[in-house]
A and B are shown apart, each in its own frame.
Chain A
Amino acid sequence: MTGTLPMGTPLIDGSTPHAEAAPEDLDTVIVGAGFAGIGAGIRLSRLGERSFVVLERAAAVGGTWRDNSYPGVACDIPSHLYSFSFAPKHDWSRFFARGSEIQDYLLDCAREIENQIRTGTDVLEMRWLADEAHWFVRTSAGDFRCRTLVIAAGRLSEPRMPEIAGLDSFPGSVFHSSRWDHDLELAGKRVGVVGTGASAVQLVPEVAAVAASVVLFQRTAPYVVPRDDAQYSDRDILNFQLDPAARESLRSDLFWQMESGFAARVGTPGYLDELRDRARAQLESQVADATLRDDLTPDYEIGCKRVLLSDDFYPALMRDTVTLEPSALAEVDGTTATGQSGTGYDLDVLVFATGFESTRPPFARRVFGRDGVSLDHAWHDGMVAYNSTTVHGFPNLFVIDGPNASLGHNSAIVMIEAQIDYLLGALHDETEVLEVSLEAQNAYVADLDARAASTVWLGGGCESWYVDERSGRLTLLWPDFAYAFRDRLAEFDRAAYLPAAATLSH
């Protein structure tokens, strides 16, 4: 065979591969041009690698920060920490960057590898060709054949829309917060917002400022702590420009300060109480109405769900034009949206701030490893990967920001960089076929489960998107300090991988 999928092999859409078009041969294909994909591309490029592409289905790079452009969108991690260590930016305008500034940063970063980025390229199928020891990647814009496949598709890329009875009958605009309709004028409109997660607490104050009325459907009350954002002064920015060591020192300080927050996630007395006290103090100081305060009081331990940062969420709920419906949206009948409490509201617009398909990533249905098994099937009980990066049965595949690689207390960029370092270590190993052993993967997963057992994410009495409902396992978050993940992935551990003969004999 010469670099095409074996003829007659059906693709997942039922078609057969193009017989006439030879795939483009490359060392590495990276899927996704968000933080993870751009970062991996830059690091490869700086090593002199040119035989790679970064495939992006959208018309522009940016991932989460391209998609999420709703009013008020911003990051909950300080800007000097929510950026690449290898692409520092001295002139962040605020302590917490707005979404558009992060998107601009990513566009700047992407210019370094612009010749390798293919936008408008939807990856339709990724299939391991065992006898060629390569991946075949079929896309909407041509096929590729590569030795190494890096999936950097992110975990906040597929909007999750709940199934609501009668939603089709709603005559007004309906959209997910990550697909904001900027052509829609909200002034004078009656807007319903579904969900009280990180997106909702950011967009509700903005929408409330212009809409005729807002109804917020709340299934579960969130914990909200003060955001305490601040603008960097011209003097600050000049200082960071002239003194890179000061900028690095700030980054280091922010990282280690946030690391201590993990202590609260394992119920460490003092740390947990301090975090809970901050949230409750803000609720009590900002919400005078006792009934509303009761409705906004969470009934689970802090940290079990994502702790939200906002100074203006509670004040927005105090507006006369804003109503908190303390139950989930149950059904829609024409213009009337009714909560599970039975209370109905006439609305013109419905915004779903209901999160993303994170524990069941859609990309997994498009990846077929050794023996033709799909990654979705391999993950039928929930996502697993050795070192949160490589998967038994899927040789030469690296998943960045995948299973147990997110954080609930610190910057995701630190984790992404650790995984990129691990990827580069594996590529440096120069073994033709790298497949992690089942024993190593199982041992890693057992270790993860043991670490997770004592965390608030499993024992905090809530339902969250961090936990896979099929297995009850914590599959999204790394259940320990970020430094421990970075240390673990600092060196590529060849011993965890099958001998070359074993991988080829499968």
Chain B
Amino acid sequence: MITLAAGVPHRDFLVAMLARHYDPAEPATVLVTTDARGPVAGTITRIILITDDPTPTGLPTLVVGRTPLPHASHARLATGHPAELLSLIDGYLRHPERFPAGATTAAARV
């Protein structure tokens, strides 16, 4: 269902927590990465790109960072805490419709 590239912040935490709900043995369809030019497996259909300096990926993308990308979904985080990033990834996996392309989703207000 999901795979996280090396270099993703809080990767160990994210992998451990996502494994509670998403079967790591399933073919990954969503890639989380910090590098838009990195390798992308053929099964990947969506990308979560964590960067403040995004470039297009060629696939439906959620950019997580300060700068939006035309035609991509965009979200900002309020903090650098790993759980907030987890909630964003989890939310995108469960409800991609809440992250429309070309729009910025503000950090969730607590």
Q: Contact residues of A with B, CB < 8 Å?
A: 81, 85, 248-249, 251-253, 255-257, 259-260, 262-263, 266, 268, 270-271, 414, 451, 454, 480-481, 483-484, 486-487
Query: In the complex, what residues of B have CB within 8 A of residue A249's CB?
Result: 78
10 A-B pairs, CB-CB below 8 angstroms?
A249-B78, A251-B110, A252-B110, A256-B78, A260-B13, A260-B81, A263-B17, A266-B17, A268-B13, A483-B108
Asked if A487 and B87 make an inter-chain contact with CB atoms under 8 angstroms apart, the answer reads yes
Q: Contact residues of B with A, CB < 8 Å?
A: 12-13, 16-17, 20, 78-79, 81-84, 86-87, 90-91, 94-95, 107-110
Asked if A257 and B81 make an inter-chain contact with CB atoms under 8 angstroms apart, the answer reads yes
Q: Taking the nearest CB of chain B, how far is it from the CB of A126, in angstroms?
A: 33
When C-beta atoms are compared, the residue in chain B nearest to A488 turns out to be B94
Asked if B13 and A255 make an inter-chain contact with CB atoms under 8 angstroms apart, the answer reads no
Asked if B16 and A259 make an inter-chain contact with CB atoms under 8 angstroms apart, the answer reads no
A329, B110: Cα distance in complex, Å? 43
Q: Taking the nearest CB of chain B, how far is it from the CB of A256, in angstroms?
A: 4
A248, B78: Cα distance in complex, Å? 10
Asked if B17 and A252 make an inter-chain contact with CB atoms under 8 angstroms apart, the answer reads no
Asked if B13 and A259 make an inter-chain contact with CB atoms under 8 angstroms apart, the answer reads no
Choice from A85, A260, A266 contacting B20 with Cβ under 8 Å: A266
Asked if A451 and B20 make an inter-chain contact with CB atoms under 8 angstroms apart, the answer reads yes
A262, B84: Cα distance in complex, Å? 12
Q: Taking the nearest CB of chain B, how far is it from the CB of A266, in angstroms?
A: 7
When C-beta atoms are compared, the residue in chain A nearest to B91 turns out to be A487
Asked if A454 and B20 make an inter-chain contact with CB atoms under 8 angstroms apart, the answer reads yes
Q: A252-B78, A451-B20 are in contact. Are A85 and B87 (CB under 8 A)?
A: no
Asked if A263 and B110 make an inter-chain contact with CB atoms under 8 angstroms apart, the answer reads no
The tally of CB-CB contacts under 8 A between chains A and B is 65
Choice from A251, A256, A266, A270 contacting B83 with Cβ under 8 Å: A256
Asked if A253 and B83 make an inter-chain contact with CB atoms under 8 angstroms apart, the answer reads no
Choice from B16, B87, B91 contacting A268 with Cβ under 8 Å: B16
Query: In the complex, what residues of A have CB within 8 A of residue B16's CB?
Result: 263, 266, 268
A85, B109: Cα distance in complex, Å? 9
Query: In the complex, what residues of B have CB within 8 A of residue A454's CB?
Result: 20
A259, B110: Cα distance in complex, Å? 12
Asked if A483 and B87 make an inter-chain contact with CB atoms under 8 angstroms apart, the answer reads yes
Q: Taking the nearest CB of chain B, how far is it from the CB of A431, in angstroms?
A: 24
Query: In the complex, what residues of A have CB within 8 A of residue B12's CB?
Result: 270
Query: In the complex, what residues of A have CB within 8 A of residue B107's CB?
Result: 252
When C-beta atoms are compared, the residue in chain B nearest to A260 turns out to be B83
Q: A256-B79, A260-B83, A481-B87 are in contact. Are A268 and B109 (CB under 8 A)?
A: no
Please name 7 further chain A to chain B contacts, defined as beta carbons within 8 Å, in addition to the given A252-B78, A262-B83, sorted by A numbering.
A85-B110, A257-B81, A259-B83, A263-B83, A266-B20, A268-B13, A481-B86
Query: In the complex, what residues of A have CB within 8 A of residue B20's CB?
Result: 266, 451, 454, 480
A262, B108: Cα distance in complex, Å? 19
Q: Taking the nearest CB of chain A, how far is it from the CB of B65, in angstroms?
A: 17
Q: Taking the nearest CB of chain B, how far is it from the CB of A92, in angstroms?
A: 16
When C-beta atoms are compared, the residue in chain B nearest to A249 turns out to be B78
Query: In the complex, what residues of B have CB within 8 A of residue A266's CB?
Result: 16-17, 20
Query: In the complex, what residues of B have CB within 8 A of residue A251's CB?
Result: 110
Asked if B83 and A487 make an inter-chain contact with CB atoms under 8 angstroms apart, the answer reads no
Choice from A255, A257, A487 contacting B94 with Cβ under 8 Å: A487
When C-beta atoms are compared, the residue in chain B nearest to A266 turns out to be B20
A81, B83: Cα distance in complex, Å? 16
Q: Taking the nearest CB of chain A, how far is it from the CB of B102, in angstroms?
A: 22
Asked if B109 and A253 make an inter-chain contact with CB atoms under 8 angstroms apart, the answer reads no
A256, B86: Cα distance in complex, Å? 10
Q: Taking the nearest CB of chain B, how far is it from the CB of A452, in angstroms?
A: 11
Query: In the complex, what residues of A have CB within 8 A of residue B79's CB?
Result: 252-253, 256-257
A250, B70: Cα distance in complex, Å? 31
When C-beta atoms are compared, the residue in chain B nearest to A410 turns out to be B83
Asked if A268 and B110 make an inter-chain contact with CB atoms under 8 angstroms apart, the answer reads no
Q: Which 6 A-B pairs have the closest CB atoms?
A: A259-B83, A256-B81, A483-B87, A255-B110, A256-B84, A252-B78
Q: Taking the nearest CB of chain A, how far is it from the CB of B81, in angstroms?
A: 4
When C-beta atoms are compared, the residue in chain A nearest to B82 turns out to be A260
A325, B79: Cα distance in complex, Å? 45
A257, B80: Cα distance in complex, Å? 9
Query: In the complex, what residues of A have CB within 8 A of residue B108's CB?
Result: 483, 486
Q: Taking the nearest CB of chain B, how far is it from the CB of A253, in angstroms?
A: 5
When C-beta atoms are compared, the residue in chain B nearest to A484 turns out to be B90
A91, B104: Cα distance in complex, Å? 33
Query: In the complex, what residues of A have CB within 8 A of residue B83's CB?
Result: 256, 259-260, 262-263, 481, 483
Q: Taking the nearest CB of chain A, how far is it from the CB of B12, in angstroms?
A: 7
Choice from A248, A259, A484 contacting B81 with Cβ under 8 Å: A259
Interface core residue of A85, A263, A266, A454 (most chain B CB under 10 Å): A263
Query: In the complex, what residues of A have CB within 8 A of residue B86's CB?
Result: 481
When C-beta atoms are compared, the residue in chain A nearest to B85 turns out to be A256
Q: Taking the nearest CB of chain A, how far is it from the CB of B42, in angstroms?
A: 30
Query: In the complex, what residues of B have CB within 8 A of residue A484's CB?
Result: 87, 90
A454, B17: Cα distance in complex, Å? 11
When C-beta atoms are compared, the residue in chain A nearest to B78 turns out to be A252
Query: In the complex, what residues of B have CB within 8 A of residue A248's CB?
Result: 109-110
Q: Taking the nearest CB of chain A, how far is it from the CB of B16, in angstroms?
A: 5
Asked if B84 and A259 make an inter-chain contact with CB atoms under 8 angstroms apart, the answer reads yes
A249, B87: Cα distance in complex, Å? 17
Query: In the complex, what residues of B have CB within 8 A of residue A481's CB?
Result: 17, 83, 86-87
A259, B14: Cα distance in complex, Å? 13
A266, B81: Cα distance in complex, Å? 18
Query: In the complex, what residues of A have CB within 8 A of residue B81's CB?
Result: 253, 256-257, 259-260
Query: In the complex, what residues of A have CB within 8 A of residue B110's CB?
Result: 81, 85, 248, 251-252, 255-256, 414
